[in-house]
Amino acid sequence: TDFGTPEVRSETEVTCFIDGREVTVPSGTTVMRAAALTGGSIPKLCATDNLKQFGSCRLCLVEIDGMRGTPASCTTPVAEGMKVHTQTPRLQKLRKGVMELYISDHPLDCLTCSANNDCELQDQAAAVGLRDVRYGYEGENHLGAMPDISNPYFDFDPSKCIVCSRCVRACDEVQGTLALTIDGRGFDSKVSAGLTSDSFLASECVSCGACVQACPTATLQEKAVKEIGKPERAVVTTCAYCGVGCT
Ligand code: FES
C-alpha cells in the first residue's frame, strides 16, 4: 500500500471516520495515511511515504465535518471523532480542475514518453477521471528550457516538470546534499541544480539517485531506462555510502 505520508509514532491514539469507516491511528497521523489504512485512496502528487508532508499540489483535498474549506489530507492530522469525506462530487470536481491545470502545462506525448505506464501524473489524471483538457499546451512554461543531460547517470527534462518539489526534498531529506532548489516564483518557478551552477554535473549533486526515485514523471530519469526501458525485475540495495537505496 502507498500510504502517502510517513508513519507517525505516538504513545496516544485517536479514532476517526474516513468515508464512514472507523480507524484508530497514532496521534499526528495524517488524514491521507488514515484513509490508506482503511483501504481508501486519495489522489496525490507531492506526498510520498518517505518525505515530510509538503502540501503543494492541492490534489488531495478532502471535506471534514465542522471544518470550513477543503484542507489537504496530506498535511492535516486526524483528530478524535473527526469525520472525513474523500470522494464527494465537489471534491471530484475540484481535483479534476487542479489536474487539468497541471496537464495544460505538460507535454501531451504520453504514448511516446519513456515513462508511459510508469508515470504518477498519468495515473493520477486517470484517477480523477480527466479525459479532456480545455486549455491547450503550447509549452508556455519552461519554454526554451533545454534538457540537462550533463549527469552521466540521469537526464533532467524541465518541460515535464510539475514542480512538486519531491526531488528537491529528497535531495535534502534523503541525501542531505541540498544540491537542488526551486528557482523563481509562480508560473516561472522551476527546479534548479543549485544557485551557483547551471547544470547537474557542475552542482553539488553526488549522483545518489534520490531525486530520480522521487520524481513522479519523466522529468528526472535514468539514462539506461530511457535508452533500453525499465528492467523486468528490480531489487533495492543499500550501501554505506549514501543510504538512499539503489534500485
Ligand atoms: Fe497533498 Fe499534494 S498530496 S497537497
Helices (H), 62-155: 89-104, 120-127
Which atom number of ligand 1 is nearest to the Cα of residue 60?
Answer: 1
The pLDDT assigned to 228 comes to 81
Which atom number of ligand 1 is nearest to the Cα of residue 47?
Answer: 3
Verify whether ligand 1 is closer than 6 Å to residue 47 (CB atom).
Answer: yes
Q: Which of 60, 62, 165 to mutate to test the pocket of ligand 1 (most atoms within 8 A of CB)?
A: 60
Angstrom CA distances, 199 to 152, 203, 216, 218, stand at 12, 6, 21, 18
Q: How many CB atoms lie within 10 A of CB 130?
A: 17
Residue nearest to atom 4 of ligand 1 (CA): 55
The model's confidence at residue 38, banded by pLDDT at 50, 70 and 90, is: very high
Please state the rounded mean pLDDT for residues 234-240: 76
Measuring CA to CA, which residue among 21, 23, 3 is closest to residue 13?
23
The model's confidence at residue 177, banded by pLDDT at 50, 70 and 90, is: confident
Question: What distance in angstroms lies between residue 185's CA and the mean position of ligand 1's atoms?
Answer: 19
CA distance 228 to 224: 6
Verify whether ligand 1 is closer than 6 Å to residue 169 (CB atom).
Answer: no
Measuring CA to CA, which residue among 193, 94, 96, 202 is closest to residue 152?
202
The pLDDT assigned to 62 comes to 98
Which atom number of ligand 1 is nearest to the Cα of residue 57?
Answer: 2
Do residues 98 and 125 make contact, with C-beta atoms less than 8 angstroms apart?
no
pTM score of the predicted model: 0.89
Per residue in 93-116, pLDDT (tens digit) is 999 999 999 998 888 888 888 899
Mean residue pLDDT across the chain = 90
Verify whether ligand 1 is closer than 6 Å to residue 72 (CB atom).
Answer: yes
Structural domains of the chain sorted by starting position, each given as residue range(s) with its CATH number in brackets: 13-91 (3.10.20.740), 144-247 (3.30.70.20)
Per residue in 44-86, pLDDT (tens digit) is 999 999 999 999 999 999 999 999 999 999 999 999 999 999 9
The pLDDT assigned to 145 comes to 72
Which atom number of ligand 1 is nearest to the Cα of residue 42?
Answer: 3
Which atom number of ligand 1 is nearest to the Cα of residue 74?
Answer: 1
ipTM for the complex shown: 0.99
Question: What distance in angstroms lies between residue 115's CA and the mean position of ligand 1's atoms?
Answer: 21
